[in-house]
Structure 1
Amino acid sequence: MIHAAVKLSKSVISMSRTSLVAATSSQPLRFLHDGTNSPSSNPVAVQMINYALSHARSQKSDESYAQGMLILEQCLSTQSSESAGQFAQNSIGTVLLAMSNLLYERGSFEEAIEKLHRVQGLTRSSLGVRVAATEALVGLYLQLGQVVLADKCLDFLHKDDLRSNGGSKESLIARAKAVKGLVELVTGNLESAESFFHGVQDIEAWNGTAVLSYGEFLHATQQFSLAKELYQNIIEGVPKNEDFSDMNTLAICNMASDEVLLAATFALGQLESHMGNFRAAEEILTKALTKTEEYFGSSHPKVGVVLTCIALMYRNKARQERSSSLLIQEGLYRRAIEFLKAPPLESKGAETKLDRGDILALARGGYAEVLCVQQNRKTEGEKMKTWAEAVWSNRRMSLTDVLDISEPSSKVPVIDVRISRVL
């Protein structure tokens, strides 16, 4: 397998160089620009990145991903030193971003994070490269429940070099602030979050990650009409694939365009449920479930996140319509808990950093309610409820608040499927 991948990567390098020579012989080579007077990235590297990603995802197997990574490693070895100027550092940075993307997709978060930190260390690279790395770092740390580390990633917002970068710097600064706003949403600081979303709607280079986070803020503060408009704009306008040729639109890991599109669809389904439009909510959330299964696989933990939300939608619908859907809810919760890889109830979940801990607590808390209304299963339900309350860590809402949003004055929970957190 490795021999085949090495042979494949050498073939790609040869094809890329041939393409580059052909381009230069037919017309002057036009390097891509990031809005400054310097070229953004080596087009050969961009071509190899696109090939590696396409090959890795063609089968979504361990072998295809390993081959894709080897192509990227070979590409990285052909780039100039990290101590070189902006053009060389941009080329290195884009390759490292692509590598982190594949590592994330295979669940190797720590390795993906290491690549992203290397990108942040490329201080001569374009601002767009570092913003993309920062967004991804924040997203991964938030998913892992490491909020302090996520916040620390944004220290570069206060550095002088942020202000001296040319080109589309205002849109990139607004985008960087929006990810800071997402951190504030996770910590429950809605007032503070609002200040970081100022200017998001005025971003010239429209960006789905920033707009989605702003939409979630509007959603959480019950500005439903505005939130719905933003969600729909994302669904209609977000690019369907990564574009590694444009330094200002780079987005990877759980902030990549495909994930943003999925998250916007998922958020819109939740919003319809919160507005009492259950038929629309069921249709949209079912579509989100199908997209999640297609993109990640039918038993991926993110499928568990979507199933949890669908179960909550049925619960909310049953309470408002004074009907019952206990069997449907139980089936959804059971599958969600299985896909989320929940630890045994005997484990001390509160003392352990759980990936997707918010959602696990929510799934088990909802399931506990279903069990507690059944006399012969009440003991099991009480045990599950105790575990869920111990694990729950959301600062804005209690677990009871989230499970009881039928009153008009209730706080509204928003599940961000990108980071698997309750906002």
Structure 2
Amino acid sequence: MLCSVVLSYGEFLHATQNLSLAKEIYLKVIQGVAENKDFSDLNAVAACNMSSAEVLLAATCALGQLEAHMGNFGDAEQILTRALSTAEDHFGSHHPKVGAVLTCMALMFRRKAMQERSSSLLIQEGLYRKAIELLKAPQLETDDREAKVDRRDIVALARGGYAEALCVQQNRKAEGEKMKTWAEAAWRNSRLSLAEAIEISKSSSKVLVIDARTCRAL
């Protein structure tokens, strides 16, 4: 699907901080998928709609992440909520893709709290917990060197973000440090460290983008 190829280019631009052009591409992909949907042909829906749904989900989720990276948190929350509804409607409320979107939402609330010097720990904790559950993360006691972890980087990102939320709470710091150690060992992204992925710096030329099609961290 052409829209999927264009979306990948948009994600590349996004990941390298070309945010304005990436936003244009995301909007065009969303519009393109919407215009090409033909729900009057049930056979076409059965054969192709899942692919279209994946592209629509990924483009919407990426746009929400981009708005968060630009500091437009109100827009980001609305768009990511729309992505969450798309994921639940097309893939089911217990699908790992839902966990990937929830991870994006939790990171958005973290960045919003940091920028606005506010607190959203309870919201972040709830989102991270649900995301980790849906992503089917292994137990913390599992030896990471032996464990097969599907969607490894997203699981590590969710646990890493959750760990940061726990570490600022004195009575839960030990739990957070344990989770952080697991997440850092599981992280495999070579472009960014886990800390860089969680803590976006304005001076950095790179940001993390979660691709909801593949549940990968780009």
**TM-score (norm: length of structure 2):** 0.91
2:212 corresponding residue in structure 1: 417
Task: Give the whole-Å Cα distance in 2 for the aligned partners of 1:329 and 1:410.
Answer: 26
2:28 corresponding residue in structure 1: 233
Q: After TM superposition, what 4+ stretches of structure 1 lie above 2 angstroms from structure 2?
A: 239-243, 251-254, 349-353, 406-411
- Number of residues paired by the alignment? 212
Aligned residue identity for 1:269: G
**Structure 1: gaps spanning 5 or more residues:** 1-131, 133-206
Quote how far apart the aligned CAs of 1:342 are.
1.1
Aligned residue identity for 1:317: K
> What are the Cα deviations for residues 287-312 of structure 1, in whole angstroms up to 9, with x where unaligned?
00011111111121111100011000
Aligned residue identity for 1:399: L
Q: 1:410 to 1:332 in 2, by over 3 A?
A: farther
1:81 corresponding residue in structure 2: none
Asked whether the 8 Å contact 1:220–1:413 carries over to 2, the reply is yes
For residues 34-45 of structure 1, the aligned pairs below 5 Å read none
Task: Give the whole-Å Cα distance in 1 for the aligned partners of 2:186 and 2:23.
Answer: 31
2:70 to 262, 275, 295: 275
Asked whether the 8 Å contact 2:16–2:205 carries over to 1, the reply is no
1:364 to 125, 140, 159: 159
Aligned residue identity for 1:382: E
1:346 corresponding residue in structure 2: 141
Task: Give the whole-Å Cα distance in 1 for the aligned partners of 2:31 and 2:49.
Answer: 21
1:303 aligns with 2:95: no
Asked whether the 8 Å contact 1:337–1:364 carries over to 2, the reply is yes
Quote how far apart the aligned CAs of 1:252 are.
6.3
Task: Give the whole-Å Cα distance in 2 for the aligned partners of 1:241 and 1:412.
Answer: 35
Task: Give the whole-Å Cα distance in 2 for the aligned partners of 1:396 and 1:350.
Answer: 21
**Structure 2: gaps spanning 5 or more residues:** none
Rg comparison, structure with higher value:
1
Higher relative contact order (CA 8 A, sep 6+): 2
1:397 aligns with 2:157: no
Asked whether the 8 Å contact 1:262–1:291 carries over to 2, the reply is yes
> What are the Cα deviations for residues 50-75 of structure 1, in whole angstroms up to 9, with x where unaligned?
xxxxxxxxxxxxxxxxxxxxxxxxxx
1:312 corresponding residue in structure 2: 107
1:323 to 112, 118, 128: 118
- The alignment partner of 2:64 has SS state of helix
Quote how far apart the aligned CAs of 1:410 are.
5.5
Aligned residue identity for 1:315: R
1:218 aligns with 2:10: no
Aligned residue identity for 1:372: C
Asked whether the 8 Å contact 2:156–2:186 carries over to 1, the reply is yes
Asked whether the 8 Å contact 2:163–2:179 carries over to 1, the reply is yes
1:260 aligns with 2:52: no
Please, what is the CA RMSD of the aligned residues? Answer: 2.1
**TM-score (norm: length of structure 1):** 0.48
